[in-house]
A and B are shown apart, each in its own frame.
Chain A
Amino acid sequence: MEFFEYIFDNGDRILFELLRHLQIIGIALPIAIAIGVPVGIAISNHKKTANVVIYIASVLMTIPSLALFGFMVALLAPFNAGIGVPPAVIAVVVYSLLPLIRNTLVAIQEVDPATVEAATGMGMTKTQILFKIRLPLAVPIIMAGLRNAAVMGVSVTTIAYLIGARGLGYFIFSGLSRSRLVMVLVGAILVGALGIGTNYGLLKLEELLTPRGVKLSRSKE
């Protein structure tokens, strides 16, 4: 009962923090895509570089998020951006790089060599093969990476409350400090629902972006 009461009484606050949460993810993911996908493509031709890049991205991802925020606060402080939205956005971008780079790389490399050979033999240039053959075929795998990144982004953004970015973390962390379990519960449920919702929304987007022929051949397998 107390639970619903809290929601009714704090509707504005919930909406505000939810939008802030979405805002952070909404800024971070496009940036992550703009970095991750081109990097994934660029390294697909160089095995050694690819290994190094993937290694760096994996290391970045193993940094605990609190530590990462610590770095960020220190690094951005001189620019007056040490707390608030900017460090949160950067953190989400950093964590998103690995799934995006890795999935793009794999998707580009795994295109059937016979398909690429046919395209080359027909007189397509490397660039044409990339844009007309490899990328359209890579859509589902890249989108899977993006979903991975987005779900992670939802939880990282929750912790970003601690560096003043606000967002749904507010309910969890202030609830904990005030020993108001109902707040914690509301926060946890909202974060969970947002994670599931984001994943679902991106699945729908994936369906929209995946070429029909690819869907047909997948459903056949």
Chain B
Amino acid sequence: MQIRLKNLTKKYDNGAFKAVDNISLTFDESKLTVLIGPSGCGKTTTLKMINRLIERTGGDILFDEKSIDEMDRINLRRKIGYAIQNIGLFIHMSVFDNIAVVPRLLKWPEQKIKDRVEELLELVNLDPELHMYKYPAQLSGGQKQRIGVARSLAADPDVILMDEPFGAIDPINREKLQDAFIEIQEKIKKTIIFVTHDIREAIKLGDKIVIMNNGHIVQYDDTINVVNQPENEFVESLLGSDRALKGLEMLSVKDNYIKDFVSINAEEVKTVGTALEYLQKKEKSYAYVVGKKGILLGYCTTKRLQKKDKHDDLIESVIKTESIQPYSNLMEAIITMVEAGLTSCPVVNSKDQLLGIIRFKTLVDIMGSFEKSEE
């Protein structure tokens, strides 16, 4: 569903103050558009006018060209997923009941609701068996936000409004959630309007970015264009000084990793001796080792294997390693590799299955090309 704002305005104090001042723009169908700008610039107000938590004072909002006035407020809200600033989970309800709220309002049959809740928990990477009947008080901050996201998706809405959904989370978990979220959007392709304070988050998640200030739109464009051609100094300062590095944030691991690589399947290759033979045949000094269903176990090196007896179990010589997910961006990949001192890093999906490897050299080359374009 496409959402068009037409001269949308919100006045307060009898018109003395305009929280949102005559903005017009179209949120594209199936795209994630980020709203960003300084505190108080009107992001939340804009969002809440779309589900009528705040009534506009001027202009119009059109859903696929149908005016918001022609729709019943309650029905409209049930069709729009909404994740509020600060999550707002219902503490007296279990995770299951929290997610089931809108489906129940829509009178879905219980079996369908149960299936849906399980599906959503899997989607946000929480084990349904383990978490379905927990209460918000028993969850970590990151888990709560995942439930908040799952809840906003529950009734399969066409439109999802998210107000700083990852705001209250530490940087490491926030990145994980963002990765998971990109993966989710890749699957569901909803029209999402996503409010954030964080320019990195905006660049990482947004197909398009709306930059707001004082109730106005300063720039609205595809993310890449906003980064490469900031409209004015305000946008430039919002982007910050390290634009070359920010460029890396726009590129994701999934487009830059190598899929043909040498790995050893520990289900087949059980002893040190066979592993060594295999490595020698492939002329490699190391290889990643996977177990059942291709799940990454770590890596082994010829150097280390040669010190062992060739009848030893291979598993015992496997060295654990950091890994990275395909929807992470290259900036995160660099940080992971520098911190762990790796020259290449395995790429795994959310189930820890090995997909490929990404090389440090690739990242350096890409950075080099960015620096050239900036000169």
Residues of A within 8 A of B (CB): 112, 114-115, 117-125, 128, 133, 136-137, 211-214, 216-217, 219-220
Contact = CB atoms under 8 A, between A and B. Distances in A.
Given A114-B86, A117-B84, A216-B138, A122 B91 contact: no
A122 B137 CA distance: 21
Chief secondary structure at chain A's binding surface? helix
A125 B53 contact: no
A123 B102 contact: yes
Contacts of A112: 88
Nearest to B88: A118
Contacts, number: 77
Contacts of A211: 92-93
Q: Considering residues A117, A118, A136, A216, which has the most beta carbons from chain B within 10 angstroms of its beta carbon?
A: A118
Contacts of B76: 123
Nearest to A120: B53
A137 B53 contact: no
A112 B89 CA distance: 11
Contacts of A133: 90, 92
A133 B98 CA distance: 11
A112 B86 CA distance: 11
Nearest to A139: B92
B162 to A, nearest CB: 11
A90 B153 CA distance: 52
B73 to A, nearest CB: 8
B74 A213 contact: no
Nearest to A218: B137
Contact of A122 (B48, B77, B92, B94): B77
Nearest to A213: B135
B74 to A, nearest CB: 5
B299 to A, nearest CB: 42
Looking at A122, A212, A213, A220, the one whose CB has the most chain B CB atoms below 10 A away is A122
B51 interface: yes
B350 to A, nearest CB: 27
Contacts of A216: 91, 135, 137-138
Contacts of A217: 91, 135-137
